[in-house]
Structure 1
Amino acid sequence: MDYKMSELVAKTNVPKSTILYYIREGLLPKAIKVKSNLHKYDDEHIELIKYIKYMQEKMGSSIDEIKLALENKNDSFSGSYSMLAPLMNTLSGESTTLKHYTKSEFIEYFDIDSILLDKLINENILMPVKENDFTQKEASIINLVENFMEVGVDYTVLKEYVKHATIIAELEQKMQKDLCAAKNEDNFSTLWKIMFDTLFNAKTYIFNRATYKVLYKSLKDELVK
């Protein structure tokens, strides 16, 4: 279906100036020129604008990150790292402001027990994104384990997190492949929304609410004793 600019603005709730900016930046294809003062847009423009809005507003992706993903938007989800770059960056929890350390620098700077460090890496409780690359995030997990040890409580819950996280990650990979198989020209933004909302909204909602229900029941049982 074809749209005039005014119709595109109405359907996406994105200002004309922003749409023209997306076109200049190469995020959207140029419109087909019908007359000197009339340009034609289509459903692809609407899908892409939805995707761009979602990535900016929900995931905090930059224009450059979105552009990188869109360069390969017609490739399969599983076959293109560029397509998955914004997702991978978000999953890694990596921040451009985080300082990175080699293993020896990390041990010295944070006064880390090297034996405990190796143990947690072997247990997959510590999973640096890159080999020999550590940040404050790894230090905070080690500090948590040390606190468990200080009070004499085993960190079994963290070990169970690892076990179940691996199983869930495999299911998430299957979901990604299923979404890839369902891809067509009209559902690009919807597929991405499903993937991101599942990983970053539904997962935390279900896990945290499950914890809440168990703790609430325990508290309620104590009060009625």
Structure 2
Amino acid sequence: MKISELAKAAGAPKETIHFYIREGLLPKPRKKARNVAEYDDSYIERIKYIKELQDKHFLPLSEIKKIVKRWNKGSPVQGAVLQLQSEYFSAVERLLPGEIKGEENFRKATGLSEKWLVKVEEWGVITPETIDGEKVYSQDDVSLGKVICDMGRVGLGPKDGFDPEALRQYKDDFRGLASKGNKYFFDALWKKVDDESFHARAQQGMEIMSIFYYHLYRKLAKQTFAEEMEKRRSESSE
């Protein structure tokens, strides 16, 4: 496509696109002629992603350039991973109230169908409160609903052969892990500090341990994936 078409599709002025190219945020386009450049569809997603990093995360161009370089060196999958991380780990959004009232509003916000909302509530994966006769979903429930929908979009849903009952098992496993972490916390600080300090440390502890679990899971998932791959290959060759 021509740059005018790209500008319209990506929602960015031509001058901005030229600037991104000069700064190395976008790769140089393929030249069809001396003054005619050709842009493919990948430029649209790249530009939208750069704008998102600026508008939602307030990152300077110097930092965005480092992130985009990972995309340039990686596969389209790497770009998709970066987009998922951007959506679910927005520092600004985590500071804003994320409660949603009512099932219909929740389904609209997350994309979760009525059938699956009933299931995940039954399994205790999503657990709304009932206030004045209406269900109220927390920010964590909203994020979980979006993640469950995205699992299906990236090929990890029931239609792809994945057992949705695994979500119930994950919840049970993580509940045990969370309970163990809370016990360690209470054993260390209960009645040893005042209530205000206790609750402040609890909030900080939940956030820092969430980050710890996230990175530990990623690390162990990569390790066990390689081990399982080697095991399957070994069994296939026998």
TM-score normalised by structure 1 residue count: 0.43
Q: TM-score, normalised by structure 2?
A: 0.41
State the structure with bigger RCO (CA 8 A, min sep 6), 1 or 2.
1
